[in-house]
Amino acid sequence: MSQKEPSVAERISALVEEQALTKEDLLNSLRQIMEIRALENNIANLLSKNVLKGASHLYAGQEATAVGAVSALRDDDFVTSTHRGHGHAHAHGDKVAHTPEAKQEHYNKMMAEVLGKATGYCKGKGGSMHIADVSHGNLGATGIVGGNIPVAVGAALAQKLQGTDRVVLCFFGDGASNTGNFHEALNMASLWDLPVIFVAENNLYAMSVPWSKASKLPSIAQRACAYGIPGETVDGMNALEVRRAVSRAVERARRGEGPTLIEAQTYRWYGHSHSDPRAYRTREEEAEWRKRDPITVMKDAMQLLGWLDDKEFEQLDEAVQAKLAKAMEFATNSPEPSPDELCTDVYAPSRWTDADIAAERALRERVRSDPNMRQISYAQALQEAMREEMLRDKNVFIMGEDVGLYGGAYGATRDLYKEFGEWRVLDTPISEATIGGAAVGAAMAGMRPVAEIMYVDFTPLAMDQIANQGAKNRYMFGGKTTVPMVIRTEGGAGRAIAAHHSQSLESLWTHFPGIYVVMPSTPYDAKGLLKAAIRDDNPVMFIEHKMLYKEKGPVPEEDYIIPLGVADIKRPGKDITLVTYSRMVLRALEAAEILAGEGIDVEVIDLRSLKPLDLDTIINSVKKTGRLVGVTEAYENTSFINEIMAQVNDHAFDYLDAPMVRVAAANVPVPRAEVLEDLAIPNVGRILEACRKVVS
């Protein structure tokens, strides 16, 4: 006769013995599961009454996965979460809170954040989909499906570089396992044996699309073999099965053996969101899964062990409801965020003082007046900047495609690879999204990454990670994190390599709050600005021009920085204010010299950094000259020069003696043929024409 299959409760009993768990361990897990359920049911009720606004993606039914997985961690480990993240946030927050009072405070902050109150974890700026507690290792939830997976890889990379044995637990859903982030991130994590445990919560539906229509494979865990890592499928309704699998993965990661992919098969009681009618699911299917309710499973197991009777369970339920009532009272009575909070937390505080600005101004004048100062190339200046910062701060490291032995753009990092080794100068796979996301995670975990993306044309491949995670996390998480990272890239035309390698896409990046954009034109500026960007506590998009790498200029040998947000008047003048940046500074100076022979005195302002923008220097110049010409190599349509003109219109319109004129690239993809490429981008002739126009 075949042996009878053990019940879930019997399997839990065996797991208790195997993991040497106590009654207190199980009671704690049951309590957490019930508290998550109570929170989710309460949110569903608030949504139905229209008391709660916005989107909430409820975790009810899946609680065992979060509770079981987090219970395998130490308090100093990390988690990253998803848009369906209340369960992860509560399991983690409850674990790291060690007194009843601290646990209640955590529950209060959770409820307050969901309601958008000032006392929430993120001051009401993140809300339901973006709860984070970075100071305790919760690196936050994201509203972008799969958006947290590269971030987790970056946090795990930080642990490897810092030499800790901390691990990162990364939650995501079945839908995220079909995104590029999933595949790029697992590949990078496995390649470097990073201490990250990927927990795929397969609740069978990505919104309304069943897993069977999204993948040829029946299991997410089967994908692990493609990356040479262990993959395991577990019952996600059973907290102890999840705990056992995650515990093994954690031990493996702490030993330096790399990541594991765990698929927890689970089910959500509610729809994808409040507006989801669940028409794609049958009542019979839902009823079958309800029989495996995580609360029932854990309760039955404890009763089988003799560790819980009906009265104790009733008392536990009453305590959970009382705790929820206190959290609701706290959240309801909490104030709305002050209007004064609207613009706080977008950027980390500036570290540059007036003294820094004055010192750089004095140094700049010395550089211009000293004929004996050494001359080095733009590429060499960048290399010096990175080397000095890597020597100064062990948390600075470089990562990107082709940055190692071959040295990236013009060999700028080749010597650094030889000097600092492969774990300070990391060659990555071709994975722009995960390069960007790993930089975000590493930065949030204490490192200062300098991530290289070969061409600015490729940065849109990483836009979600850099713009939606890196640039927004500080604000969404209530100012309680910093993301000190630099993305080095090159842009601009001039090498006849056509539209995919020749664009000037800086206006894409100036659009997003939370990220700075820097574009140096000289070796002196390149070195000082890159050093400042590396030291800054904000994400910085550092865009070099491919035609400037061989340009030489004077650069001091001593250590110096150029504070971000300080423009440079490259040539003073009284008749026209010419605002530009990057390679167009050189063309503008050429034009200014020609115009000087015609009696037209042009003041050339090099922005150096587009964000933060030195608007005062521009406005003061326009007040003096009464005329503005803006020059950019970016497309005329929505280029950053248009923003400069709008700002001048707002702040100095009464001082203008003529309409403003812009000189920009043609609104066509950059052509391959040299004759067409030269026509597409600004040249000295077009700048001369614009300047003559504003003085006519």
Compute the distance between CA of residue 672 and CA of residue 165 in angstroms, rounded to an integer.
51
Beta bridge partners of 206: 209
336 is a catalytic site residue = no
Sequence-distant (≥ 6) Cβ neighbours of residue 22 within 8 angstroms: none
The secondary structure of 135-177 as a DSSP string is GGTB----SSTTTHHHHHHHHHHHHHHHT----EEEEEETTGG
Compute the distance between CA of residue 304 and CA of residue 13 in angstroms, rounded to an integer.
8
Compute the distance between CA of residue 470 and CA of residue 435 in angstroms, rounded to an integer.
12
Q: Which of these is catalytic: 184, 432, 490, 633?
A: 432
Q: Do residues 436 and 462 touch, judged by C-beta distance below 8 A?
A: yes
Sequence-distant (≥ 6) Cβ neighbours of residue 376 within 8 angstroms: 384, 523, 552, 553, 555
Compute the distance between CA of residue 565 and CA of residue 103 in angstroms, rounded to an integer.
43
Q: Which of 194, 152, 148, 151 is nearest to 169 (CA)?
A: 152
Structure letter (DSSP) for residue 288: H
**With the CA atoms of 48, 53, 55 and 61 taken in that order, what torsion angle do they form, in degrees rounded to the nearest 10?**
-40
For tokens 């007046």, what's the residue? 369
Q: Is 300 exposed, middle or buried (0-12, 13-18, 19+ CB in 10 A)?
A: middle
Q: Do residues 522 and 551 touch, judged by C-beta distance below 8 A?
A: yes
Sequence-distant (≥ 6) Cβ neighbours of residue 335 within 8 angstroms: 117, 118, 119
272 is a catalytic site residue = no
Q: Which of these is catalytic: 501, 544, 545, 603?
A: 501
Q: Which of 134, 566, 132 is nearest to 350 (CA)?
A: 566
* Structure-token pair, residue 641: 């020069």
* Structure-token pair, residue 411: 């060999």
Catalytic residues: 432, 501
